[in-house]
Amino acid sequence: QVQLVESGGGSVQAGETLRLSCAASGLSTSQNCMGWFRQAPGKEREGIAVIYPAVGATYYAPSVKGRFYISQDNAKNTVSLQMFSLKTEDTALYYCAAGGTRCLTNTFSPSVYNYWGQGTQVTVSS
């Protein structure tokens, strides 16, 4: 049974940093596309960062490129999202997702991802 559990969310001021972590069980984070998505109230779910360690690929949405960094840890079977220079518009529920190999062609499409965590809230205030 696959399980993804996010942690690390919280409330911060604009300009601060947070690190989210996704602990996976039942699948290998190194052999799957692993993504971070977020959803703000009233908005669609948005893909922001994806890593596919098996081919050494990382992808970032323009809205977070240069501020957020995704990484994967083989030993812990986790995927992390380091977030710098947070903005109020980064406020959202953040989800970890896992999805085979299809991220190579449909990187930020939620339909590509088969497994989802419950989400962790990030709130950035000015």
What single-letter amino acid sits at 72? Q
DSSP-assigned states of every residue in 39-76: E-TTS--EEEEEEEGGGTEEEE-TTTTTTEEEEEETTT
H or E element, residue 5: strand 3-7
pLDDT tens per residue across all 126 residues of the chain: 999 999 999 999 999 999 999 999 999 999 999 999 999 999 999 999 999 999 999 999 999 999 999 999 999 999 999 999 999 999 999 999 998 888 888 899 999 999 999 999 999 999
Determine contact, residues 25/117, Cβ cutoff 8 Å. Answer: no
Determine contact, residues 79/24, Cβ cutoff 8 Å. Answer: yes
